[in-house]
Amino acid sequence: MSSVGQSILNTAESVKDGAKNMFENKKIADLKKDVKDSHSKQPQTTDYGVKVADLDHWLKVVDEEKNKVGPSLLEDQIARERIHRFDHERIPERVVHARGAGAHGQFKLYESLEDVTSAKVLTDTSRTTPVFVRFSTVQGSRGSADTVRDVRGFAVKFYTDEGNWDIVGNDIPVFFIQESIKFPDLVHAVKPEPDNEVPQGQTAHNSAWDFMYLHQEATHMFFWAMSDRGIPRSYRMMQGFGVNTFSLINAEGKRTFVKFIWTPELGVHSFVWDEALKLAGQDPDFHRKDLYEAIDNGAYPKWKFGVQLIKEEDEHNFDFDILDATKVWPEEQVPIRYVGELELNRNVDEYFTETEQVAFCTSHIVPGIDFTNDPLLQGRNFSYFDTQLSRLGINWQELPINRPVCPMMNFNRDGQGRHTITKGKANYWPNRFEANPPTGHGNGGFESYPARETGMDLRKLAPKWKNYVSQAQLFYNSMSDIEKRHITNALSFELDHCDDNVVYERVVERLTEIDLSLAAAVAEKCGAPTPTKQTVENPGLKAKGLSQFDYLPEVPTIKSRRVAILIADGFDAVAYGAMKAAVLSQLALPFTISNKRQNVTAADGVTSAKPDHFLNGQRSTMFDAIFVPGGEKSIKTLMGNGLARFYVKEAFAHCKAIGATGEGVELVEAALRECPGTTVASKGTDAVVDWYGVVTAQTPDDESTVKKGIKMASEAKDFTGKF
C-alpha cells in the first residue's frame, strides 16, 4: 500500500475511534448514576450483594466416594435467584412499534421562535438540549425484520430544563384514521391475522386491505406507505413528522397552530423493493446496525428541525381541516420554517434499559406548547400514558431513561417499583409547611391555553373531514414517473398476497378514485377486472415536498455509506489502499470482500489484506457502492466466480455506484454484459467511484433507469484525483 494511502487510512481510523461514545450531556451524566460496568473485574455477587463462589453448579447431594450425583437441592438460594430472575426477564412488547433502535443526541436551536412560543427549548438559542430518539417499525413484533414495507416511528424525547417534551412522530406526515377510537381496529387489521398469526410485519394480507378499503380516509396514507417512503434505506435518511397539530403559545398568550418536521441532512433515500425483500432475510437487523454503525464511526446523523405555522385566526381558511391528521399542510400554503438541528451522537450502553424502557407520551409537553382539538391527538394523549402501565408499571417515569434532568418534585407516591426516597412529612397539598407549592399563575408553571369551546356532545366530525380523495391525488400526482411505477409495483405485490377477491377488487375500485391508469396496471397484476372509468375527477394538482426527489442532500456526500471492495489473491494493492483511504476520509465505510475470508495477498507479493467478509457472507445488498481494483490474477479468480459476477450485477440492478480500475473494469463489463440491454459507459483505468444517490430506486426490469444508474456511476469524478 502507498504510504500516502496508509497515512490517510490511519488518520481516518483515528477519527473513527475517537468518536466512540464520547459525547456527554446532562442526560448522559444523569444516566451514569445508574451505569455499572459488566467488564469490571469485581467478584460476582447475588442481587443482595453477597459474593458468589461457584456459578457453574447447582448445590447437589454428591457421593464423591461412589462417584454418584444425587438430587439438586431447592435450598440453593443462589441458583434459585438466578433462575427466578431469568424467568421474569421479559416485559410485554409495545402493542405497536415493538421493534426499534435508539440513540442519544442533542438538539440545538439556531433561530428563536419567540414570536410564537414561550417554550425555552424553542426560544433560547444558547441552549443545547439532550435528546433520546427511538426509531421503529409499526407492525412487526420485537424480533421482526427491519426492512419490511411499513411506516417508521420517529420518537424524540427532549430532556429540557423545564421538563421532558416528546414528539412522538412517524416518517410519514399523515395517518390512516381521523378518530383515535378506530385505532384498535386499524392495528388489529394490519397486524398478523388472529387465526394463524400470519403475516409478520407487513400489510400484504386480506385484513389490512379490507380495512384500507372500508376506511376511505386511509387512502392518502396508504399511498405514502406504498411509495418508496415505506422502505427507507436507513433511519438516518428519512424525514420525521409530528403528524398531529399542536399549539404554540407565546409570552402574550397568543396561540399559533404548529406541525413539527425533521428533515435529514443526508437526504431522503429508499431501498429498491427487491433489495428490501432480500435484506429482510440476509440481515433482519440492517437498520438497527446501520444506525449503530454510523454513530460508532463518527458519521453522526443529523436532521433539520422545522415548523409549519398557522395563526389561530386562519384556522378555517383552508379547504381541509387543519386538525385532520389525514391531511398534510401543503408547503405552498404553509411553508416550513427550519429553526434547529438534531444530532445523534451516542449509542446506548444497554438496549433494554434505554431503548426498550424509554416511554414516549404525546401528553409530555412543556410550557409554551399545548394540544389542540385534533381528535387523534386527544386519543393518543390517553393511550401512551396508559400503555406504559402494562409495559413498565406505574413508576415508569422514574426509570433512568425516562426521568427528567430538571428538578422534579410532587406528591405522587408509592406504587410498584418505586425508587425515589422522598423524606419529610409533606405528601399532600396544601400543607402546613408550605412545601412544594404550585407556581401560581404567570410564574412559569404549565398553564393550559384558555380555548373558547362551544357545541354539543356528538359522535361526529364536521363535513370538511369527508374529503378523503383530494390529498391522495395530490400525493400521487406529485410523484416522479419512477416513484409512480414503484407505487404500482408495491400495490400489485400487496394485493397479490390477498387471496380474497372481494378485497383486491374493491381496492382496485378505490384506486380509480385516484388514477385510472394506476388502477388498471394494478388490476392486471393482482387479478382484478380492468377498470375503465376514473371515478373521482383528478384535477392534476401537485405540491412540493411530497416526492423524495425534493429531498436530495444539500451537499452531495458519501458519508456513512458502505462501499464493498472486491478482491482476490493478486489484487492491485495501490488502487485498493488508495480507495480504502479515500472512502474512510469521507467518513464512509470500506469493506473488503473476497472469495475467502483468509488473508488475500496482493500482486506485489508483499501486501496482504484480511477480508471483512467472503462473497456469500455479506451480499451486495448490504452495500451502497462497489469498487473493483485491478490485478490480473485477482480479476481472473473473480471472473471465474459466478457469485462475484452476480455481486456486480445485483448492485447494478439496485442502481448502485460501481467503480473499477485496471483489469477490474473487465469484471464489471463481463458482469454487465449478462444484464440485457446495457452498455458500460466508461472504460479505462480511471477510478470511477462516486455515490449514486438512490433517491428513489428502480426495479431490475426498469431498463431506462438502469441505464441512468450506470451512466451516473461512470460519470463520477469525486475520487479520481485521489489516486
Catalytic residues: 97, 170
Least Cβ distance, residue 131 to ligand HDE (angstroms): 13
Are 475 and 220 contacting, i.e. CB atoms less than 8 angstroms apart? Answer: yes
For every residue of 384-419, which 3-state class applies, written as one string?
Answer: HHHHHHHHHCCCHHHCCCCCCCCCCCCCCCCCCCCC
Nearest approach, Cβ of residue 663 and ligand HDE (Å): 49
Residues 6 or more apart in contact with residue 13 via CB below 8 angstroms: 584
CA distances from 275 to 44, 231, 558 (A): 46, 10, 19
Residue (297 or 372) nearer to ligand HDE, CB: 372
- Closer residue to ligand HDE in complex, CB, 96/651: 96
Which residues, 6+ apart, have CB-to-CB distance to 428 below 8 Å?
411
Residue among 295 and 706 whose Cβ is closer to ligand HDE: 295
Nearest distance from residue 175's CB to ligand HDE, in Å? 4
Smallest distance, ligand HDE to C-beta of residue 283, A: 22
Three-class DSSP category at 494: helix
Residue pair 78/46 in contact (Cβ under 8 Å)? The answer is yes
Considering beta carbons, is residue 216 or 608 the nearer one to ligand HDE? Answer: 216
Which amino acid is present at 242? G
- Nearest CA to 267 out of 232, 295, 238 is that of 238
489: closest CA among 514, 526, 516? 526
Closest contact distance (angstroms) between CB of 224 and ligand HDE is 12
Q: Which three cell numbers stand for residue 524?
A: 392486471
Which residue number has the CB closest to ligand HDE? 153
> Distance between CA 408 and CA 554 in Å, rounded?
41
User: How many C-beta atoms lie closer than 10 Å to residue 310's C-beta?
Assistant: 18
Least separation in angstroms between residue 449's CB and ligand HDE is 21
225 Cβ contact list (under 8 Å, min separation 6): 149, 150, 151, 172, 203
Among candidate residues 157, 166, 249, 159, the one with its CA nearest the CA of residue 444: 249
Comparison of 358 and 568: residue with beta carbon closer to ligand HDE: 358
Please, what is the minimum distance in Å from the beta carbon of residue 390 to ligand HDE? 9
Q: Provide DSSP, 37-79.
A: -TT--SPPB-TTS-B-S-SS---EEEETTTTEEEEEPTT-HHH
Smallest gap from Cβ 97 to ligand HDE, in A, equals: 3
Q: Is residue 377 within 8 Å of residue 247, measured between CB atoms?
A: no
Provide the b/e sequence for 196-210 (b: ≥16 CB within 10 Å): eeebebbbbbbbbbb
* Residue entry with cell 480479476: 635
For residue 430, say if its preceding peptide bond is cis, omega within 30 degrees of 0.
yes
| Diameter over CA atoms, the chain | 93
Instruction: Give the residues lining the site for ligand HDE (CB under 6 A).
Output: 94-97, 100, 134, 136, 153, 155, 168-170, 175, 180, 183, 243-244, 325, 359-360, 376, 379-380, 383-384, 387
In the structure grid, which three cell numbers stand for residue 695, read together?
Answer: 433517491
Task: Give the shortest CB-234-to-ligand HDE separation in angstroms.
Answer: 17
Complex with ligand HDE: residue 110 or 382, whichever CB lies closer? 382
User: 397 vs 705, which CB is nearer to ligand HDE?
Assistant: 397
Minimum distance from CB of 167 to ligand HDE (Å)? 8
**Cα(315)–Cα(322) distance, integer angstroms:** 7
DSSP letter assigned to residue 571? B
Residue closer to ligand HDE by CB (options 172, 491) is 172
Q: Which is nearer to ligand HDE, 91 or 541 (CB)?
A: 91
Q: What are phi and psi of 621, to 5 degrees?
A: -55, -25
Residue closer to ligand HDE by CB (options 116, 401) is 401
Alpha carbon distance 550, 72 (integer Å): 67
